[in-house]
Amino acid sequence: MGMDCNLDIDECTSSASVCESTKWEVCENSIGSFNCVCERGYSRTIDTAVCTKDTPTPPPQTSSRQYLVYVLVKITPFASKGCTAARLKVPSKYKEDERKAIQMLSASLPKGKRIIIRDIRCGSYIIDAIIAIDNNNAEKASLSVELEALREGRNVTFGGEALQLDEITINDRKLTQTSTSGTYNEKLCEVLTTISQCPSGQICVVENGSPGCRDEIKDNLPLILGLCLGVVLPLLLVLIAIAIVVYSRSQKRDRRPSSATDICVNWKESFPVTNLNGFSRVGSSHMSGRNQSEEFPYSPYGSYDKAGFSKNFPR
């Protein structure tokens, strides 16, 4: 300390080799002093002063009512120099950063979620965490909204310091701010389906700002068009062909004579009868309105009497 006891001197930085006498030891500063402790991940046994590696922590125990989401967050502080490997080796410093990480994730999550920090690494800050939620659709939807807010860069503070989110990995799937080019709802559904896949036959739909899995409504228009073109259209063509055949036959039946008398009348009207002189004689049907004893107006042999014809038209 200084002369007025208000300034602490960090012996760990002023003397780098102060705790190098024992392997896996690091210097931990305290007010007015310092301690040589085993670095994080190691501990000193009672029987010996040697630091030995700790037994790996088993994964958290869960019940069927809980659902675990594995989240890896990579962040870069704006103001400070960021994370250093030497700092994270000191147990007290690691605990301090662990507390900041839990506060950051807690600010982004609904209250009541259990957060377990598995590891903090450097290269910026890499926070490896497990988020335990209740195993129901409402909790998954709520977590999706909060993790999307975290991905978009909202609610990202580390010990009161503003941070830049580089990337977030959910259940081993890396998501960046530009990993999905689409609407906010599409990005929200990407997070939800990364947390938990929708069952077969369902898709993610956002309703009132909350994503959820709903039954897929399939577009049957291509199927309907296919049925129309494959079944209805050929049937329509057959009906049109049948109508044409029926109409053609009815037309032929209307033009056909109904009796032998009609055949004779039609033949006489088409081919008028001629007399011996080569001149047409008018059929009886055309003479109904005339005087049958009337002479024809002209004959090359003179009158009908001289030609040997009776001027009376035979009945």
Same domain, 151 and 188: yes
For β-strands 51-53 and 66-77, DSSP reports them as unpaired
Residue 74 token pair: 């990579």
Task: Specify whether 143 is located in the same domain as 168.
Answer: yes
* Total H helices, total E strands in the chain: 8, 12
Q: Which residues pair with 30 in a beta bridge?
A: 33
Do 86 and 190 belong together in one domain?
yes
pLDDT surpasses 90 at 70:
yes
Q: What is the pLDDT of residue 156?
A: 76
* 129 & 207 share domain: yes
Residues 31 and 77 in one domain: no
- Do 133 and 154 fall within a single domain? yes
164: closest CA among 173, 172, 154?
Answer: 154
What average pLDDT does the chain have? Answer: 76
Higher pLDDT, 12 or 252: 12
Domain final residue pick, 199, 215, 231: 215
pLDDT digits (tens, 9 = 90+) for 41-62: 998 877 777 888 988 878 777 7
> Which region among 70-74, 246-250, 311-315 has the lowest average model confidence (pLDDT)?
311-315
pTM score: 0.62
21 or 97, higher pLDDT? 97
| First-residue to last-residue Cα distance in the chain | 161
pLDDT at res. 122: 85
Beta carbons of 39 and 91 less than 8 angstroms apart: yes
Check whether residue 204 and residue 295 sit in a common domain: no
pLDDT of 191 over the 50 cut: yes
Question: Which pLDDT belongs to residue 55?
Answer: 85
Report the C-alpha gap between 55 and 77 in whole angstroms: 32
Lowest mean pLDDT segment, chosen from 13-17, 76-80, 159-163, 165-169:
76-80
Instruction: Name 125's bridge partners.
Output: 75, 122
Per the listing, tokens 């012996």 go with 11
* Parent domain of 34: 11-53
Task: Give the residue-averaged pLDDT of 191-199.
Answer: 93
Domain count of the fold of the chain: 3
**Using CA atoms, how far apart are residues 102 and 64, in angstroms rounded to an integer?**
24
- Whether 313 is in a domain gets the answer yes
pLDDT in tens, 255-298: 655 555 554 544 445 545 555 445 445 444 444 444 444 444 54
Question: What CA–CA distance (Å, rounded) separates 263 from 268?
Answer: 9
Residue at 16 is within a domain: yes
User: 75 with 125: CB under 8 angstroms?
Assistant: yes
